[in-house]
């Protein structure tokens, strides 16, 4: 089973709109009451309380205690990747032997609507092995997204399912022949899946060696006004020289002693006759008028490697420019609405927390 998503939800506002739209329909509330006032702030528990106050019937909810338990779960759903995975593990176990969170049948409850909305953004960015760890969650989300109307806020998670080929009446193939065909088709399918995984791995964030460093010295490039040259310490006792296009945004003095995040396995090359052996990752706004190097968290060590939950491959020793791996990866690097640097929504994580930027919803490269 694999999952993918075409675009991310537009933050708390979009999530709250989706919850309100679906719950209004479930509780048969007047859609004319659906307004910014009824949606309220970003807290899911407050939003749900506001919606219930609009309900004229005090008996609108059955299993209210259980519903409020799941509302609390949704409201406290964490933002850090490791904590999110722990919460999903709990949800996956709860869904092990049932189709929905509450109720005896197949009709989703208000709790299903609220929890789906809370976890959608994180689950939609899980890939590969991370998806396979939560089969019950993915199966449940696929069911909910096809049963409930969220007002078009959420992009559907595309879940790949096994094909079923029924035996056509009058088919002359013997069972033994069908078994052989099945084995052959299964081998072809596994070969294609392996090839696809290998191609995905070649342009996954796991091929990059991203580390934390500190700029010890910086100066103007001798023959390019837009470039600065930096000497960066990775904590291994040697200095790495990197050329960056930061001269329009920072003076040399501004960068000295600044901690940065950089890709250290790019192929060394010369930029206007000056050798560069790395790439400092920076966030920038849409028109590229504001640029800022990513900020490692306090407490993260020099040389520490950045990790991404669900991407556990080994970095390449040196990137091959002919494979254009960076060109394929950087479009998926951005900061979220809280300024956390991410790859496809998965945070740049260190032992002390995620890397960040003061520029929200920025591209990173």
Between 178 and 209, whose confidence is greater?
209
DSSP code for 244 = E
**What pLDDT is attached to residue 295?**
97
Between 106 and 95, whose confidence is greater?
95
**What pLDDT is attached to residue 265?**
95
What percentage of the chain has pLDDT greater than the value 90?
42
Cβ burial of 56 (10 Å; 0-12, 13-18, 19+) is exposed
Res. 111: pLDDT tops 80: yes
Per DSSP (E only), the strands in 234-287 are: 239-244, 259-263, 269-271, 274-276, 279-280, 282-284
- Residue 237: CB partners within 8 Å, gap ≥ 6? none
Between 241 and 66, whose confidence is greater?
241
Q: Which domains does the chain have, with CATH numbers?
A: 13-54+64-147 (1.20.1050.130), 205-364 (2.40.50.140)
pTM of the model: 0.50
**What pLDDT is attached to residue 310?**
86
The residue with tokens 């291994």 is: 236
**What pLDDT is attached to residue 250?**
96
Phi, psi of 5 (to 5 degrees): -145, 145
Residue 215 — very low, low, confident or very high, per pLDDT cuts 50/70/90?
very high
Cβ 18 vs Cβ 154: under 8 Å: yes
Determine how many CB atoms are found less than 10 A away from the CB of residue 312: 12
Between 127 and 325, whose confidence is greater?
325
Lowest mean pLDDT: which of 37-51, 165-179, 217-231?
Answer: 165-179
Most confident of 24-28, 174-178, 213-217: 213-217
Angle at 298 between CA 261 and CA 284, to 5 degrees: 40
Cβ 283 vs Cβ 359: under 8 Å: yes
DSSP code for 340 = B
Residue 1 — very low, low, confident or very high, per pLDDT cuts 50/70/90?
very low
Res. 257: pLDDT tops 70: yes
Q: How far is residue 337 CA from its own chain's centroid?
A: 12
């Amino acid at each position: 089973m694999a999952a993918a998503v075409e675009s991310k939800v537009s933050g708390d506002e979009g999530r709250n709109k989706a919850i309100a739209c679906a719950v209004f329909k479930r509780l048969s509330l007047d859609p004319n009451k659906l307004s910014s006032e009824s949606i309220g702030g970003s807290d899911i528990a407050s939003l749900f309380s506001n919606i219930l106050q609009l309900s004229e019937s005090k008996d609108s909810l059955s299993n209210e205690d259980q519903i409020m338990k799941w509302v609390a779960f949704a409201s406290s759903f964490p933002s850090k990747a490791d904590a999110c995975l722990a919460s999903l593990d709990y949800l996956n176990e709860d869904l092990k032997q049932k189709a929905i969170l509450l109720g005896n049948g197949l009709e989703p409850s208000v709790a299903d609507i609220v929890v789906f909305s809370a976890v959608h953004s994180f689950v939609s960015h899980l890939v590969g092995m991370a998806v396979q760890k939560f089969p019950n969650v993915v199966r449940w989300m696929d069911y909910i997204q096809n049963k409930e109307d969220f007002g078009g806020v959420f992009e559907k998670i595309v879940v790949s399912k096994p094909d079923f080929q029924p035996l056509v009446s009058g088919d002359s193939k013997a069972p033994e022949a069908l078994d052989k065909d099945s084995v052959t088709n299964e081998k072809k399918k596994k070969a294609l899946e392996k090839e696809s995984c290998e191609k995905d791995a070649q342009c996954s964030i796991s091929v990059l060696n991203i580390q934390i460093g500190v700029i010890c010295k910086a100066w103007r490039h001798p023959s390019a006004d837009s470039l600065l040259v930096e000497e960066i310490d990775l904590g291994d006792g040697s200095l790495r020289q990197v050329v960056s296009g930061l001269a329009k945004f920072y003076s040399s003095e501004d960068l000295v002693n600044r901690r940065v995040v950089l890709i250290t396995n790019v192929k060394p090359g010369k930029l206007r006759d000056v050798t560069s052996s790395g790439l400092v990752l920076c966030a920038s706004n849409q028109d590229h008028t504001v640029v800022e190097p990513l900020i490692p968290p306090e407490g993260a060590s020099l040389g520490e490697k950045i990790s991404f939950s669900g991407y556990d491959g080994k970095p390449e020793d040196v990137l091959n420019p002919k494979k254009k791996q960076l060109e394929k990866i950087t479009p998926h690097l951005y900061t979220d609405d809280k300024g956390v640097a991410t790859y496809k929504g998965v945070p740049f994580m260190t032992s002390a927390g995620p890397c960040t930027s003061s520029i929200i919803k920025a591209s990173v490269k």
